[in-house]
């Protein structure tokens, strides 16, 4: 078994598409619409056949409450790993990303947190220990 897809709820799929592609640099792996439904997924260009991230429109009241509570508590909806958090911080800031936490050393890693503009916080992590 392997993980092939993870979902993140977004409050605006067009804005999410721009953020995840133009700012984060992900590539679109699927973009299909039928009626009012849109299936939209992106993946890392470093692993185009790896795990995809579905940018799902958040029209579910329970999911909206959860998304808002997690955001207000400062909890990330997703975590992405990098080998160069300082370089990514600089590059993403230059592309318009708003960081709520700059690169910060914590136990076993350096982390940074940014706002995806669609209702979520995202965490970047660079491991500093070997597992």
Candidates 92, 76, 84, 98; CA nearest to 126 is 84
| β-sheet bridge partners, residue 9 | 56
CA distances (Å), origin 116, targets 9, 10, 12, 22, 72: 11, 9, 11, 12, 14
Cβ atoms of 44 and 91 closer than 8 Å: no
Give pLDDT tens digits for 90-100: 999 999 999 99
Share above pLDDT 90 across residues of the chain, in percent, rounded to a whole number: 95
Q: Which residues contact 113 (CB under 8 A, 6 or more apart)?
A: 74, 76, 99, 100, 101, 121, 122, 123, 124
Residue 38 has pLDDT above 80, yes or no: yes
Would you identify the CATH topology of the domain 5-127? 2,3-Dihydroxybiphenyl 1,2-Dioxygenase; domain 1 (3.10.180)
The rounded distance, in Å, linking the Cα atoms of 49 and 4 is: 9
Share above pLDDT 70 across residues of the chain, in percent, rounded to a whole number: 98
The rounded distance, in Å, linking the Cα atoms of 73 and 105 is: 20
């Amino acid at each position: 078994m392997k993980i092939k897809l993870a979902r993140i709820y977004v409050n605006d799929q067009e804005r999410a598409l721009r953020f995840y592609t133009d700012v984060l640099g992900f590539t679109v792996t699927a973009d299909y619409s039928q009626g009012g439904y849109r299936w939209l997924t992106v993946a890392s260009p470093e692993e185009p056949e790896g795990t995809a991230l579905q940018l799902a429109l958040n029209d579910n009241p329970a999911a909206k409450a959860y998304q808002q509570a997690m955001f207000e508590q400062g909890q990330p909806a997703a975590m992405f790993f990098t080998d160069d958090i300082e370089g990514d911080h600089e590059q993403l800031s230059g592309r318009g990303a708003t960081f709520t936490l700059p690169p910060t050393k914590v136990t076993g890693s350096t982390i940074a947190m940014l706002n995806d503009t669609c209702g979520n916080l995202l965490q970047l992590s660079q491991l500093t220990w070997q597992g």
